[in-house]
């Protein structure tokens, strides 16, 4: 049948909001606002990621968590870019050892190291700005 269906709307969004890396969902219709990636095999990185997720969910922010342990960080980053969630937060051994979480836009721009204690609020502020 003809008409505007969900699959056609999704195809239009994918056609207009993508780059060579994959989808770049507009924040208002993204399946989640933040893609949290835990890298390495260090338990501290995964624990920091899980705490961040709990804080973000308490703030009403939808999160995707890549907690695969047998996959390289490069594969996780490529998958995050392919999925296209607006913000990516990275908890890795190096960042957590420095007391930070890396937060960046899906496009790779506006990357910043945020103190772990302030990460959830900093991400919530960035999500609010994206939803304006």
What pLDDT is recorded for position 6?
83
Residue 30 sits at the vertex; the CA angle it makes with 107 and 72, to the nearest 5 degrees, is 55
C-alpha torsion sign, points 10, 106, 127, 69: positive
* Domains contained in the chain, CATH given: 6-130 (3.40.50.800)
Residue 2 has pLDDT above 80, yes or no: no
Structure confidence at residue 68 (pLDDT)? 94
pTM for the model = 0.91
Q: Is there a contact between 52 and 101 (Cβ–Cβ < 8 Å)?
A: yes
Per-residue pLDDT for 7 more than 90? no
Phi-psi region of 44 (alpha: psi -120 to 50; beta: other; left: phi over 0): alpha
pLDDT confidence band for 1 (50 / 70 / 90): low
Q: How far is CA 31 from the centre of its chain?
A: 11
pLDDT at 5: 82
Please give the mean pLDDT across all residues of the chain: 94
Using alpha carbons, list the distances in angstroms from residue 20 to 24, 36, 72, 117, 123: 10, 21, 21, 34, 25
pLDDT band at residue 109 under the 50/70/90 scheme: confident
The percent of residues above 70 in pLDDT, for the chain, comes to: 98
Q: Per-residue confidence at 126, pLDDT binned at 50, 70, 90?
A: very high
Q: Please list the residues that pair with 64 across neighbouring strands.
A: 35
| CA-based nearest residue to 49, from 103, 86, 85 | 103
Give 10-46 pLDDT, tens digit per residue.
889 999 999 999 999 999 999 999 999 999 888 999 9
Q: How far apart are CA 29 and CA 130, in angstroms?
A: 11
Give the number of other Cβ atoms within 10 Å of residue 68's Cβ.
Answer: 12
């Amino acid at each position: 049948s003809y008409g505007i269906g969900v699959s056609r709307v999704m195809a239009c969004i994918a056609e207009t909001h993508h780059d060579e890396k994959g989808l770049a969902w507009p924040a208002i219709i993204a399946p989640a606002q933040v893609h949290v990636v835990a890298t390495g095999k260090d338990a501290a990185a995964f624990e920091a990621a899980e705490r961040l997720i709990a804080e973000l969910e308490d703030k009403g922010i939808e999160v995707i968590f890549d907690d695969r342990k047998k996959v390289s960080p490069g594969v996780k980053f490529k998958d995050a870019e392919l999925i296209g969630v607006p913000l990516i937060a990275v908890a890795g051994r190096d960042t957590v050892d420095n007391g930070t979480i890396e937060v960046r836009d899906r496009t790779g721009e506006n990357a910043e190291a945020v103190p772990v204690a302030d990460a959830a609020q900093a991400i919530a502020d960035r999500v609010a700005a994206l939803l304006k």
